[in-house]
Amino acid sequence: MNELVILLVEDNRRDAELITEALKEGCGPHRLILAKDGDEALRFIKNQPTLVLLDLNIPKVHGIDVLKHIRRDPSTRMIPTIIFTNSKSEEDVFACYSNFCNAYIRKPLGFDEITDVLQATNLFWFQTATLPKPPPPQTGPTIRPPVPES
Amino acid sequence: MNHYLKDELYDLVRKDPKVFDFLQEGTMDGIWYLNIETKEEWMSPQFKELFGYSDEEIQNTNDWWLNNIFPEDRAVSLRNFKAHCEDPNHPYDQIVRYRHKNGSTVWVRSRGIAIRNDKGVPTRMLGTHIDITALKKHEEVLNQQKATLQASNEHLEQFVYIASHDLREPLIGVVGYATLLQRRFGDQLNEQGQHFLEEIVQGCKNMEAKIDDLLELSRAGRETTHRVFSLGAAVEEARRNVVAGIQKTGASIVATDLPNVTGDRSQIAQLLQNLFSNSLKYRKKDESPVIKVTAQRDPEDPMWWQIRVHDNGIGFDMRHAKRIFGVFQRLYTNDQYPGTGIGLAIVKKILDRHGGRIWVLSEPKKGTTFVFTLRAAEAP
């Protein structure tokens, strides 16, 4: 099985540490990449992680715009993207599903609760659901073959 | 009713023009009298003064008013004039605007009555003006104040909403670390240490519950739609939402002869659900809860219904009747009856949005009755 690479987009240092520890307990072997703001998230997403955990209220580029970007890019649009945030505002939930997040989960209180949620996410996406093979990453602008002059 | 003084007064008016002038000055801001055939029109000096003109400045024809009334109000006046000439029962009575000599707007209530000849054909029109500009200005100020108040209320609600989210955020860390500590290092703590940690977690969870309730309160009653719906259906919806509590307590909810009302059905269902939850929570230990929902026309205003939600619970002292609708106001500690004290505040807010009232009747050990009013769907 391929290595599980999780991109965690989280600006809150404490939440990031708790989620990191919870992933260690609940999600088996994996590699974790932490993005502390929207810019970093957009940079790391090019590496095609297997799962994105995305906070909404993050500096620089807002979470919803990161989500839009992930869905626009053909090389990343199939990556399961889970919104993991504190807000339970109807507007946020609506906006995230309208932009094709795979799930909207409100961060629960308690370490065990966080672990349970992440374990369930892992279980569903990597042991239950079938995912497509990722398309080749887009490394740069497409170069057109030169058209021979006639 | 005839009275000798009335007869005397009418006689005086006929004989002495000063009496008529006095009456006119004291009760009205202008008189006009129109010859419908020739379009000549006499306007009293006060009539002209009201718009900033002396008696000589305005010719006694009906050109002046046609040119100085606001065009849309002229259309209304002419329409009513025509209708009144055809049918005396159609009132010539409207609020219109005139342009004052200084350019300002004068609001006038203009009323008139056609004087008809032997054949019933109108030949004259007698009319009065009452200046209501001051009233209109007050109304405008009031409307402005109302709009400002509404905007500041919405602003406040938005603030509470955002603040509630921000207030919850640190709790994720506090509870997260406390429970992580418990999990990783719990075996190094004695029983008291474990207890301390547990209290940290419980305290934070209480706070979370309050924050979430504040969120709900700030959202309650938003976007209220007013439609006719069956109150019985709303009761049914509320009942379904508390079905777990009903089963746990063996409760029954009895609803009889409920009318159609006007309002936001899902909000009223939530209101009922909160009242039902209250009845289930504050039940007697040795008796299954029985909740009765009844309705009667509001004796003070038959266009409204009074709805009663009555229970056989533990009741409370009426001294506290006002407090219980306040935010986070509770009559019991969290250990006696868990809760945050927001349920009835939401009920109150929903009714405020519906223009309804709510009050409560209760007696310790006898049960509680909540009474609230909703607009009727049809007249009795």
Of A14, A90, A112, the CB nearest to B173: A14
What average pLDDT does the segment A10-20 reach?
A: 96
Q: How far is A34 from chain B (nearest CA, A)?
A: 17
- Count of alpha carbons within 13 angstroms of residue B113, beta-carbon side: 2
Q: Is B120 exposed, middle or buried (0-12, 13-18, 19+ CB in 10 A)?
A: exposed
ipTM of the modeled complex: 0.84
Residues in chain B whose Cβ is within 8 Å of chain A:
161, 165, 168-169, 171-173, 175-177, 179-180, 182-183, 201, 204-205, 208, 212, 215, 219
Q: Is B176 exposed, middle or buried (0-12, 13-18, 19+ CB in 10 A)?
A: buried
Sequence-ordered list of residues with C-beta below 8 angstroms from that of B306, at least 6 positions apart, any chain: B295, B296, B297, B298, B299, B371, B372, B373
CA dist B314 and B79 (Å) reads 65
* pLDDT of res. A45: 94
Could you read off the pLDDT of A109-142 as tens digits, one per residue?
A: 999 999 999 999 999 999 999 998 877 766 655 5
What average pLDDT does the segment B122-130 reach?
A: 94
Of A21, A86, A90, the CB nearest to B165: A86
Task: Please state the φ and ψ torsions of residue B230, each to the nearest 5 degrees.
Answer: -85, 125
Residue of chain A whose Cα is closest to the Cα of B205: A109
Q: Which helix (H) or strand (E) holds A114?
A: helix A111-127
Could you read off the pLDDT of B40-77 as tens digits, one per residue?
A: 999 988 899 999 999 999 988 888 999 999 999 999 99
Q: ∠ CA B366-B334-B247 to the nearest 5 degrees?
A: 60
Residues of chain A contacting residue B173, judged by C-beta atoms under 8 Å apart: 12, 14-15, 18
CA distances from B314 to B195, B270, B309, B319, B369 (A): 33, 23, 15, 15, 11
Q: Is A34 helix (H, G, I), strand (E, B) or coil?
A: strand
Residues of chain B contacting residue A84, judged by C-beta atoms under 8 Å apart: none
Sequence-ordered list of residues with C-beta below 8 angstroms from that of B69, at least 6 positions apart, any chain: B77, B96, B97, B98, B99
Mutate: best of A111, A112, A116, partner B, most B CBs <10 A = A111
Mutate: best of B162, B167, B169, partner A, most A CBs <10 A = B169
What average pLDDT does the segment A94-100 reach?
A: 97
Mutate: best of B165, B172, B206, partner A, most A CBs <10 A = B172
Per the CB < 8 A criterion, the answer to whether B277 and B245 are in contact is yes
Point out the least confidently predicted range of A13-17, A21-25, B259-263, B328-332.
B328-332
CA dist A103 and A93 (Å) reads 9
Residues of chain A contacting residue B165, judged by C-beta atoms under 8 Å apart: 86-89
* pLDDT of res. B158: 85
pLDDT of B87 > 70? The answer is yes
Locate B226 and state its tokens.
């007013």
Could you read off the pLDDT of B155-174 as tens digits, one per residue?
A: 888 888 888 888 999 999 99
Residues of chain A contacting residue B219, judged by C-beta atoms under 8 Å apart: 90
Q: Is B339 exposed, middle or buried (0-12, 13-18, 19+ CB in 10 A)?
A: middle
Please say whether the dihedral angle defined by the alpha carbons of residues A10, A15, A21 and A27, taken in this order, is positive or negative: negative
CA distances from A15 to A11, A36, B81, B163, B171 (A): 8, 11, 75, 19, 10
Sequence-ordered list of residues with C-beta below 8 angstroms from that of B301, at least 6 positions apart, any chain: none
CA dist B98 and A31 (Å) reads 79
pLDDT of B221 > 80? The answer is no
* pLDDT of res. B163: 85
pTM of structure: 0.69
pLDDT of B277 > 60? The answer is yes
